[in-house]
Structure 1
Amino acid sequence: MTVGGIIDALSAYNRDTTARLAINPFFPMAHRLGGVEKSEDEHGRPVVYIAESPEAEQFPLPPAVAVALTWQGPVEPPPPPRRRRGATGPNAGQ
């Protein structure tokens, strides 16, 4: 993703909306952002790094966000437990 792509994606939201970084699809967590730094990659091209907050506070990622990011499928609640049926047949209850 490029800086332009990030700007385009974020331009749909109010400037006062909190931004967090979603990390690790296998253990989804949200991290507070702490800063932006420019550097270069191994080929001398510019790269921008988005850093985690110095407080390093993280939160569980809401399941709906993990689903929207396709990190996991929708999860259905388990069905209610079924009552056991009594025995039937010629020797029932013996």
Structure 2
Amino acid sequence: MKENTLDPEYTIGEIIDRLSAFDRDAIFRMAVNPLFAMEHTAGAVVSTVDPQGRTVVYLAEGGEQLGPLPKSVAVDLTWHEPVEAPPRRRRSATGNL
């Protein structure tokens, strides 16, 4: 099974294996577009045969964009670097009110 590789080709068996580690009642969402990370609902699942004769299965986005992907998810996907707020400097009082 692939583990955070750049190879985008996963078999259905590999996806089933990865998903089987999660609670079957968990909600499934899709993370889309690393540069402007958003979360979407999942839609239809269809298959076809590619020019090499391989069966290819497609999962469509469900048509509903839910909003920005949680920052922690973008970091876990390695789409974004973990960023911490810069330390705050204590400011001195500036005059009387």
Report TM bin, short chain: 0.7 to 0.9
Identity of aligned residues (%): 52
Q: Is the 8 A contact 2:38 2:65 kept in 1?
A: no
Please report how far the alpha carbon of residue 41 of structure 1 lies from its aligned counterpart in structure 2 after TM superposition.
Answer: 1.7
Which residue does 1:89 correspond to in 2?
A: none
1:53 paired with 2:62, answer yes
Number of residue-to-residue matches in the alignment: 83
1:76 to 84, 90, 95: 84
TM-score by length of 2: 0.76
Aligned residue type for 1:43: Q
| Structure 1 gap segments, 5+ residues each | 85-94
For the aligned residues, what is the CA RMSD? Answer: 1.6
Which residue does 1:11 correspond to in 2?
A: 20
TM-score by length of 1: 0.78
| Structure 2 gap segments, 5+ residues each | 1-9, 93-97
**Counterparts of 1:81 and 1:32, CA distance in 2:** 42
**Counterparts of 2:61 and 2:80, CA distance in 1:** 24
Q: Which has the larger radius of gyration?
A: 1
> 1:26 aligns to what SS in structure 2?
helix
